[in-house]
Structure 1
Amino acid sequence: MSSSIAAAPDRLLPSDPGTRAIARNLLELVQDLPIISPHGHVDPAMLASDTPFPDPASLLVTPDHYVKRLIHASGVPMDRLVLGTSPDVDARSIWREFCKAWPLFDGTASGYWLRSEFEHVFELREEISEATADATFESLQRRLNEPSFRPRQLFKDFNIEVLATTDDPMDDLRFHAEIAADKSFEGRVLPTFRPDAYLNIAHPDWVENVDKLIGEAGDGASGYAGYLAALENRRDYFIKHGAVSADHGVLTPRTLKLDRAEAERLFVKARCGEASAEDRDIFEAHMMYESARMSVQDGLVMTLHPGSFRNHHLPSFEKFGADTGHDIPFPVSYTEAVRPVLQDFGTAPDFNFILFTMDETVFSRELAPLAGFYPSVYIGAPWWFLDAPDAMLRFRSAVTETAGFSRSSGFIDDTRAFCSIPARHDASRRIEASFLARLVAEHRVSEERAAELIVDVVDAAPRRAFKL
């Protein structure tokens, strides 16, 4: 089948025979290292309950915005890709749409990952095509029904050591507690504090969220004081349940330090529904500063994910909700935006500030120089549209000449698609081997040093950046 491309032992390695031989040796050093996944979107309930995956479409198509968006771009209405939209749309019909669209994925990162999953996880032998849609659905369904294909067994088979989820600040984290208490479970599943809906006053539920936050975690205080106290208390709750980071999905990386009276004035204005668009931007920027202050105080790693115009197609958002494939990148600038935080906390002991971008022009122009000076700054791995083979090579080339290898976060899979995790990490390891092999072939790094570097980049870097 065409997915046999994913079985080629030299996939993603350099085409030059001599450089490829070096890359093979480097890859061998890291190929079997455990997976460290410190940022992603897997549902912890799946691992706590260990329930079987329902069907191929629900596992491989509907949760993956990379997949849905490209099928939709070919002219397939989103209604045909979302369960429950009409009686004639079910898992099998969605799978048929995917198989019909399969040729569209040639050359894409998601196509590569899917081929790898079909080959190495599902051991699928049939060709994916419109003609074989029902046969491949049934083959995959039989595999999903096997006891060995439960989430916990796959977690073990994938050799995952650490998996971080992304969680609402008011989540009781009971699934994390269940997993942590289960002595038979090997590995760590860590919550991540994600307070966007409580910091961004443009969020439609912000007032309701804040009222609940203060009421349940504000220690009896009210207003802005209760708000800050509640955020700090919930962060502490997450830390007690194993969290190592707080993640912030923001429109821009802007940070701003307001005096207490001005921050409180904006907070009151927002709760009354009177905040302007400028007020909203200023308050969120200030809360990024406050979040950095809290990270210095409690030790949570602070990660920043800006630059996505979320829900770009309003009709799709209104009908199908968020994360349905129409979030679009736009340019960002970091140097002035994060200066308020770095002025006060850039050299603070034990503060780790990981900066991500979907604007790859920022890698060499701003992020590498920032990380090359401030001890707190780490460069986030290529993320969302950039987590692809050629883009990862461009990233490594762009940042390394200024910041070296030690100032990056390690690979971040950032996925909801659980079965793609090993494929994504394998691709990253092959790209790192390819990049280092070129440096060795060009006599820029010795082969002995490259062997040390690839282990550091794959294993030590995420542990260092996320304090694991």
Structure 2
Amino acid sequence: MKAFMDKDFLLETKTARTLYHDFAARMPIFDYHCHLDPSEIYENKTYKNITELWLGGDHYKWRAMRANGVEEYYITGDADDYEKFVKWAETIEKLIGNPLYHWTHLELKQYFQVETILKRSTAKQIWDACNKIIQEPNFSARGLIKQSNVVLIGTTDDPIDDLRYHKLLQEDQDYGTTVLPTFRPDMIMAIHHSQSWAEYVGKLGQVTGIEITGFDKLMEATEKRMDYFSEMGCKLSDHSIEPIVYEPATIQELDAIVSKAFDNEPLSEKENNQFLTSLLICLGKAYHKRGWVMQYHLGALRNVNSRIYRAIGPNVGVDSFRDGAIAEPLSKLLDEMDQMQQLPKTILYGLNSKDNEVLAAIAGNFQEGGIPSKVQFGSAWWFNDHIDGMVAQMKVLGNLGLLSRFVGMLTDSRSFLSYSRHEYFRRILCNMLGQWVENGEYPDDIEWLGQIVEDISYHNAEGYFDFNLKQSRVPLT
């Protein structure tokens, strides 16, 4: 019997162990998509205890605690931090089969040197051990990033954000990790919420000095913000699209839709779809012009528990995934940009695993000479970032595309401890390749395999995004 989470955790073969320890483990981290707050990085945030660091804002954990019958008072309520930690420890005991069990113990081991299993009976011991380490000077936002060997962090930013902290981080010559903004225009897309949309677009007009009276002016203001983001080093956009639609419209129809939204008149489903279609096409063309990468996160069904949403707000663990058809509207959307030769590099992430083959096949339809895997089937996301989900995503990509050109893992997280997920992913990748080799499916050429592992772990993302890094980070020895 193997020991729990030893150095060969998830590495079932000799080939897998060699690939991980000699190649994957030493590569830096290129975290091109996350939800970290740049102000916390610049100000080098410190933490009062493990609960603040671990449970604050982590809707994965909140969701699990609710499933374990924990009262909201101990999740997002006013219970003291130790009580919340104990309730999390009690929940961990019930999480066999869930990736949170692995992530929790990877983080304890990597950042706190704690190898004790977390459960109710060990909660006080681990609480004390972690809180002692948290008080050390290097246990801060920047310290955790440095420990994790992170080269680049791509945050997620609203178009009207002033990017003040990005500017300060870039001017900080003593800080080596590159932190760059990502353009996320979800609020511009949310025209179905006409009142909040009109208020937001009004702010967009104020920030840009453009009076937004119709669709063209909306795009003019949006592109002006893109130019500002470009000045701050941005080369990446991101969209949460739910659902994906395709409904063409004339400029007259678009202006009428914008006017209705400004007047707080309800839009029909067709009008909403017309606006989204034209907006996404115009955004894609604008990204292409600037050499940006476009990310589509597809299929979230958000805030389905309206009671909890009203009480606590969004992003609290009451989201799911859609099960509608995506192949035709997504293909038409990308094809329209491609016909104009203005389709940017694009990454497609699917939240419903039923769409894996669909997305991988669509990505293969829109490739371009000179740009390896220009359109990517992105990493297993949110409900899929567990062993089965990661393996399924990579196998589909291998079957229908080029796994060796995959840009690899991202954290998609608000926690500075989530870099352990890169280790998790790399172990899973190496184990999968190792099994293939030892089954005789692929040659036992360790240098060839090692290069593939290093590329997926780091080099592919470095080349695909082509960011200007503050400094190159050498692999760990």
TM-score normalised by the chain length of structure 1: 0.92
Give the gaps of 5 or more residues in structure 2.
368-373, 468-477
Higher relative CO (CA 8 A, sep ≥ 6), structure 1 or 2?
A: 2
Are the aligned partners of 1:114 and 1:420 in contact in 2 as well (CA < 8 Å)? no
- State the identity %: 26
| SS of corresponding position for 1:131 | helix
Aligned residue among 251, 258, 281 for 1:260? 251
CA deviation profile, 1:281-340 (whole Å, cap 9, x unmatched): 332233222221211222221101121111110111111111111111122433211233
Are the aligned partners of 2:105 and 2:117 in contact in 1 as well (CA < 8 Å)? no
**Partner in structure 2 of residue 60 of structure 1:** 54
Is residue 174 of structure 2 the alignment partner of residue 181 of structure 1? Answer: no
Deviation of 1:466 after TM superposition, in Å, equals: 2.9
Q: Distance in 1 between matches of 2:117 and 2:53?
A: 19
Q: For residues 385-400 of structure 1, what are the structure 2 equivalents within 5 Å?
A: 385-400=383-398
Q: Which consecutive segments of 4 or more residues in structure 1 shift more than 6 A?
A: none
Deviation of 1:223 after TM superposition, in Å, equals: 3.0
Between 432-441 and 165-174, the greater mean CA deviation after superposition = 432-441
**Partner in structure 2 of residue 9 of structure 1:** 7
Aligned residue among 141, 145, 152 for 2:131? 141
Aligned residue among 286, 299, 302 for 1:294? 286
CA deviation profile, 1:356-404 (whole Å, cap 9, x unmatched): 101112222x122222231142111100011111211111112211102
Is residue 12 of structure 2 the alignment partner of residue 23 of structure 1? Answer: no
Aligned residue among 241, 259, 264 for 2:232? 241
Is residue 444 of structure 2 the alignment partner of residue 450 of structure 1? Answer: no
Aligned residue among 109, 118, 125 for 1:128? 118
**Partner in structure 1 of residue 65 of structure 2:** 71
- The one-letter amino acid paired with 2:81 is A
Q: Distance in 1 between matches of 2:216 and 2:309?
A: 34
| SS of corresponding position for 1:243 | coil
**Partner in structure 1 of residue 438 of structure 2:** 441
Is residue 282 of structure 2 the alignment partner of residue 283 of structure 1? Answer: no
Aligned residue among 342, 347, 351 for 2:344? 351
**Partner in structure 1 of residue 422 of structure 2:** 425
Are the aligned partners of 1:408 and 1:465 in contact in 2 as well (CA < 8 Å)? no
CA deviation profile, 1:149-189 (whole Å, cap 9, x unmatched): 12112211110001111111111111111111111101111
Q: Distance in 2 between matches of 1:141 and 1:304?
A: 39
Are the aligned partners of 2:384 and 2:390 in contact in 1 as well (CA < 8 Å)? yes
Q: Distance in 1 between matches of 2:463 and 2:247?
A: 27
Q: Distance in 1 between matches of 2:246 and 2:184?
A: 17
Q: Distance in 2 between matches of 1:169 and 1:35?
A: 26
Aligned residue among 209, 216, 222 for 2:207? 216
**Partner in structure 2 of residue 164 of structure 1:** 154
Deviation of 1:251 after TM superposition, in Å, equals: 0.8
Deviation of 1:221 after TM superposition, in Å, equals: 5.5
Q: Distance in 2 between matches of 1:147 and 1:293?
A: 46
Counterparts in 2 of 1:332 and 1:237: CA distance versus 1, 3 Å? farther
Is residue 31 of structure 2 the alignment partner of residue 37 of structure 1? Answer: yes
Deviation of 1:115 after TM superposition, in Å, equals: 0.4
| SS of corresponding position for 1:338 | helix
**Partner in structure 1 of residue 411 of structure 2:** 413
| SS of corresponding position for 2:14 | helix
- TM-align CA RMSD: 1.9
Deviation of 1:349 after TM superposition, in Å, equals: 6.7
Deviation of 1:42 after TM superposition, in Å, equals: 0.9
